[in-house]
Structure 1
Amino acid sequence: MSVESMPRVGGHISLIGLLTGRAGVVPTAMLMARQQRLQGLIVGSRRHQLDPVRGIDAIQGHPVIDRSFPLTELADAFRLQVAGGHFGKIVVEC
């Protein structure tokens, strides 16, 4: 990771999965100097993803959509999400 690609001071870096193996260089001095947080997130295997997808396909399942907003009403979509008054997905159409 180059200095130019590091997040701003106080930024958050999430490492998702292990695609490059178990070892790697972590610029700890740079992380500390920029007061950044590094968090590792472990995800399942490809099979762990494909098994539920096959199950959803088998029952012809579809997501529940609560409301759909045009992009111009993005703030309203966020307000609905923050209020927690929805059941299912909130869609923003571009």
Structure 2
Amino acid sequence: MRFCLQMKLQQNLKQFSEILLSTKNMPIVEYTDTDKIWGAVDCGSYYEGVNALGRLLMELREKLNENETNIIDKPSIDNFFLLEYDLQIMSNYINYKNVVNKLDM
């Protein structure tokens, strides 16, 4: 999922980075009624669950803030292909902070 979110950021840089950065330093919670692994269930005064998706989004936001999102490591899965191409370390030479700063102008 980490790989998928990194790819999603690359493909939707403007909108996705704006949304992530707009959360500032607030917790990101994937609200769900049933899935306590990827999200968290509302139990009234608290949420219960691992919130794996929320944690991955917060990790991505932190990397975006630190300008560390320019390299995407493929998962350590043998024979991991995309459209018949073996995925090695993929680089994106875009300076994310500069791009995001330009969006604010």
Query: What TM-score range do you get, normalising by the shorter chain?
Result: under 0.3
Choose 1 or 2 for highest CA Rg. 1
TM score, norm. by length of structure 2: 0.24
> TM-score, normalising length from structure 1?
0.26
